[in-house]
A and B are shown apart, each in its own frame.
Chain A
Amino acid sequence: MNTEYAVGNIRIHFESRGRHRWFVALCYAVFAVSDLVWCFLSPKMNPSANLKEATGAWIIAGCMILGAALVIVFTGIAGDMRSRGDEREMHRREHAYFKAYFILGNFLVSALVASYFRGPNPISPLLPQTLQEFLARLPLMLLGAAGILYITLPQAMLQWTEPDMEKLQ
């Protein structure tokens, strides 16, 4: 785990647990907004989107660029998850994967349950049109969220649980 992230001459310090947690919370807020924006403003995902196509495309592109930048910083702070560190680091890393595995699987189960509403079923016709369209998009939304979690969740768990570190001299 790195204690700082350097962008050119700017160094962002991440020694304290509080900063790690704020950063994790910020990242997941941006990822959640990006996922929702992609599902509701993309004309392929939502043909009935009211925004002009160019506006929606700009918003989606902005969210994607911001999300990608945060993923780069995120993985930069967490370090290479495949590298063989010391005994403690490897144990913490593998335990983070153990915890993340179950959460990722739950998203998969949710996607499978949500896909039920895409096909012919007795419940969807009773719901309003907007909700029907939302349920039709829900499996892909959940899979998109699962993809983001797959990349980031073990690192997020490590950052969330890492205690305060000493500042580099």
Chain B
Amino acid sequence: MNAELVFFGKRVDMAQRHRRRILVIAIYAALAVLMACLWRFTQWHGSGIWAFWAVMLACRFFLGGYYAGGLVKPFSNKAPRRTEQAPPLLMLKLRIYRPLPAEGEPYRNDERELRQRDHAHYAAYQTLGGALAVVWLLASIRNDSPKVFDWLTMPSDELFCGLTMIALTLFLTLPQAILLWSEPDMEAD
């Protein structure tokens, strides 16, 4: 795990555990607010993709793990793909480009980090299973007896879509969040 976050060219020290925990809470709060707004104004009709992109950006800039960038090193343990071409001007202006890889760049997880990665997935797997069970139960009830949802103010399709989006968000972010939450204070790089 990296002890420093580079965000729009600014370096933020994330060596302390409480800072990482605040970041995790802020990310989930922001995603929750975004999803609530999308439902309030569009009922997720064609706008679910925005929530998906928000999760992708959170992974790309803050969390890492499944994507290069962010605090958690790539789970795949492979170097991020780079090209020899210069990054686009917009990325240079926003300072979100990544320089060409230096020799010995620390993208690889060591033995301890691999163990932590596997353990975080083990913990996240249980939560994802719970979320899947809720979604499956809802889909089954909707299929067998749709009248059960008559008392709801929202159609069951919207509820299904919302719960699936929440499960998808957990799938993409939970292992990284567990790692960031549980890692003790680090020494700053």
Contact = CB atoms under 8 A, between A and B. Distances in A.
A118 B132 CA distance: 19
A76 interface: no
B149 interface: no
Interface residue SS majority, chain B: helix
B157 interface: yes
A45 B125 contact: no
A119 to B, nearest CB: 5
- Across the A-B interface, give the 6 residue pairs with the lowest CB-CB distance, nearest first: A94-B118, A105-B171, A98-B121, A97-B122, A143-B136, A98-B118
Contact of B140 (A112, A119, A140): A140
A34 B157 CA distance: 26
Interface residue SS majority, chain A: helix
B128 interface: yes
B69 interface: no
B23 interface: no
A144 interface: yes
Contacts, number: 80
Nearest to A118: B157
A101 interface: yes
A94 B122 contact: yes
A98 B116 CA distance: 11
Contacts of B128: 101, 104-105, 108, 150
B59 to A, nearest CB: 13
B129 A98 contact: no
A98 B117 contact: yes
A97 B157 contact: no
B121 A44 contact: no
Contacts of B48: 112
Interface of B: 48, 75, 115, 117-119, 121-122, 124-125, 128-129, 132-133, 135-136, 139-140, 143-144, 157, 160-161, 164-165, 167-168, 171-172, 175
Given A100-B125, A108-B168, A139-B139, A150 B132 contact: yes
A95 interface: yes
Contact of B172 (A94, A104, A105, A139): A105
A109 interface: yes
A37 interface: no
A97 B122 CA distance: 5
Contact of A112 (B144, B157, B164): B164
A150 to B, nearest CB: 5
A143 B160 CA distance: 12
22 contacts: A91-B115, A91-B118, A93-B122, A94-B119, A95-B118, A97-B125, A98-B75, A98-B122, A101-B121, A101-B171, A104-B128, A105-B171, A105-B172, A115-B157, A115-B164, A143-B135, A144-B136, A147-B132, A147-B133, A150-B128, A150-B129, A150-B132
